[in-house]
């Protein structure tokens, strides 16, 4: 039976010592700012970077495509019918033009692919814009030559939008699945990093105490199992504290950043909206390269539950491995074996996010060692049946109880063994003899 007084002493020691350390405080305070920077900096770059105008000459032997492209974007395209091709090439070489395309009847008939000859600047976005303008101009010319009616042209230009709504037990609920796809990917990678970081803290703590021989003093008054549980739960509480702070900080900073963004960029948005603040907000949001998704409370709670269970499973394994190692710098096969179940689910995050209710996704999310990463990804993208979530939690709980029993038997012997790192064969002996 565990002595809870001694367990609490170990728990408080692990939690208080680490939560008051400078490294923990700095990491906790800086992480939300760094996280938000990944989202805000790209937006600022898009909004603040002035558009670079790249001029393109249209060498049009037919005289029908160039006028259409000039009508579409007169600042970009130039029609130079009297300028020799060699002179146009010279203009591209010395930077007066960024490129040129040659159009003839073979291009319009579809017998030859048009080419864009350019200076190599502008990147994929520049090439895509020229291709789109050229494609539109040639299509319109073909429609004119085929004497297509305005009604048919309108039908061809129509773009059918598709909005998604999920039918729930209480009615219809609007959902942006493309944005939630990104949320699922982000949650999966956060869980992946968290398993390594906090599991590594437990492992390094065990190795440090073993190296300094502190553990010999501790185990003289505390049972190894109580020491293991106090260390695992103490670091786990540390992680939960950090995640809760980060969630509140990111939420608060996001709310505060919205009016600041409007203040700096509101002039352009407000001007476009005719002075209407609400419309200005919509105009500003329309310029963003993505739509901010709404993350429900159930998803946050689910993420926290699977994080705690995943952390308990992997921290027990990392603690057992730490007790079997001689130093922190030692790259042992045991570390690789423990790390593999964390790495493997990362390979499946993309297919699981794309098809979250497939048999592969269901099976992977029910495997206890994979569940901490795969199940939150599924929960972000779709409404996972309650029985699957419940079964996954039960399986993870049973796995943790089995692993903590196994790890405690290894830990009991390993923390007092010196001289060399243990092999798999020796670990099996420790489990049998304990």
H or E segment and range at residue 209: helix 177-211
H or E segment and range at residue 233: helix 224-273
What tens digit of pLDDT does each residue of 306-318 get? 988 988 888 888 8
Start-end of CATH 3.40.190.10 domains in the chain: 56-157
pTM: 0.68
3-state secondary structure of 423: coil
Count CB neighbours of 340 within 10 A: 10
Rounded to 5°, the CA angle 302-306-309 comes to 145
Q: What is the mean pLDDT of the chain?
A: 80
Q: Specify the CATH superfamily of domain 56-157.
A: Periplasmic binding protein-like II (3.40.190.10)
pLDDT value for 289 = 47
pLDDT surpassing 80 at residue 353? yes
What tens digit of pLDDT does each residue of 44-67 get? 776 676 667 788 999 888 888 988
What's the rounded mean pLDDT across residues 326-334?
Answer: 68
């Amino acid at each position: 039976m565990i002595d809870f007084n001694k367990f609490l002493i170990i728990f408080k020691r692990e939690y208080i010592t680490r939560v008051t350390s400078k490294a923990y405080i700095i990491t906790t305070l800086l992480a939300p700012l760094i996280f938000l920077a990944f989202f805000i900096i790209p937006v600022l770059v898009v909004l603040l970077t002035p558009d670079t105008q790249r001029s393109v000459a249209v060498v049009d032997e037919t005289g029908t495509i160039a006028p259409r492209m000039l009508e579409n974007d007169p600042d970009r395209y130039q029609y130079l019918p009297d300028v020799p091709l060699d002179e146009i090439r010279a203009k591209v070489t010395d930077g007066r033009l960024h490129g040129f395309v040659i159009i003839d009847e073979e291009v319009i008939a579809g017998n030859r692919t048009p080419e864009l000859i350019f200076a190599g600047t502008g990147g994929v976005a520049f090439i895509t814009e020229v291709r789109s303008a050229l494609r539109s101009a040639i299509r319109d010319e073909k429609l004119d030559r085929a004497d297509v009616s305005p009604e048919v042209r309108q039908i061809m230009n129509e773009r059918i939008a598709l909005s998604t709504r999920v039918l729930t037990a209480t009615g219809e609920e609007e959902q942006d699945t493309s944005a939630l796809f990104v949320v699922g990917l982000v949650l999966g990678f956060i869980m992946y990093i968290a398993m390594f970081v906090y599991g590594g803290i437990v492992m390094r703590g065990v190795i440090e105490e073993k190296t300094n021989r502190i553990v010999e003093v501790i185990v003289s008054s505390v049972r190894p199992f109580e020491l293991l549980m106090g260390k695992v739960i103490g670091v786990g509480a540390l992680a939960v504290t950090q995640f809760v702070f980060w969630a509140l900080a990111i939420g608060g900073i996001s709310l505060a950043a919205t009016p600041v963004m409007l203040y700096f960029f509101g002039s352009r948005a407000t001007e476009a909206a005719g002075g209407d603040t609400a419309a200005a907000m919509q105009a500003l949001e329309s310029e963003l390269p993505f739509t901010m998704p709404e993350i429900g409370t159930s998803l946050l709670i689910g993420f926290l539950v699977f994080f705690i269970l995943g952390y308990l499973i992997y921290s027990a394994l990392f603690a057992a491995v730490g007790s079997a190692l001689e130093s922190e710098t030692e790259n042992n096969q045991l570390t690789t074996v423990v790390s593999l179940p964390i790495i493997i689910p990362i390979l499946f995050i993309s297919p699981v996010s794309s098809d979250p209710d497939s048999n592969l996704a269901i099976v992977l999310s029910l495997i206890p060692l994979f569940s901490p990463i795969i199940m939150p990804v599924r929960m972000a993208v779709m409404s996972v049946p309650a029985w699957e979530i419940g079964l996954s939690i039960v399986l993870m709980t049973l796995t943790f109880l089995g692993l903590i029993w196994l790890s405690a038997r290894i830990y009991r012997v390993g923390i007092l063994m010196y001289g060399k790192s243990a092999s798999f064969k020796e670990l099996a002996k420790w489990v049998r003899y304990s």
